Amino acid sequence: MGFTEMFVATHSEALKRAAALGAGSSASAGGVRIPGISDFEIEQLGDLAGTAVHAAGADYELAMVDVASDALLGVPPAMVRALAELLSYESEGEGNVLDDVAEKWAAEDDMPFGADEARKYVQQLAELAGSVDENSRTGLYVWSS
């Protein structure tokens, strides 16, 4: 199995990065590359994050952003918000929400890593989501091989 990379970019930057990734470029700074998963597992993470921050039922489905690349998908605003909120969400007596999401994500069928590694990825993805700036027209993108 290949890998999935998530990154923050403008639409045109995302298309350029998708082309480079499709040509076999290595991971670049500012992105999170996760081996062994697909966009499906990212959608699972979105659902788990949404539930954890009490925003279940929103649209967490990744969407194709341009016909130039069917491997490049956009993360919907609801998922971006839910992921970003994992960094600061305070629950009453529910423990660390980010840790809970990571444990549940790692427990999903066919996940290639355990809770410790999942926590690292969830932390990194939450930080990426928190860096999306609507004023600079950036978004969170997913590229899967």
Indicate the burial class of 105 (C-beta count within 10 angstroms; 0-12, 13-18, 19 or more). Answer: buried
pLDDT confidence of residue 88: 85
Look at residue 9 and tell me whether its pLDDT is greater than 80: yes
Report percent pLDDT > 70 for the chain: 95
Task: Name the pTM for this structure.
Answer: 0.92
Tens digits of per-residue pLDDT, 86-142?
Answer: 998 866 666 689 999 999 999 999 899 999 999 999 999 999 999 998 888 999 999
The average pLDDT across 9-17 equals 93
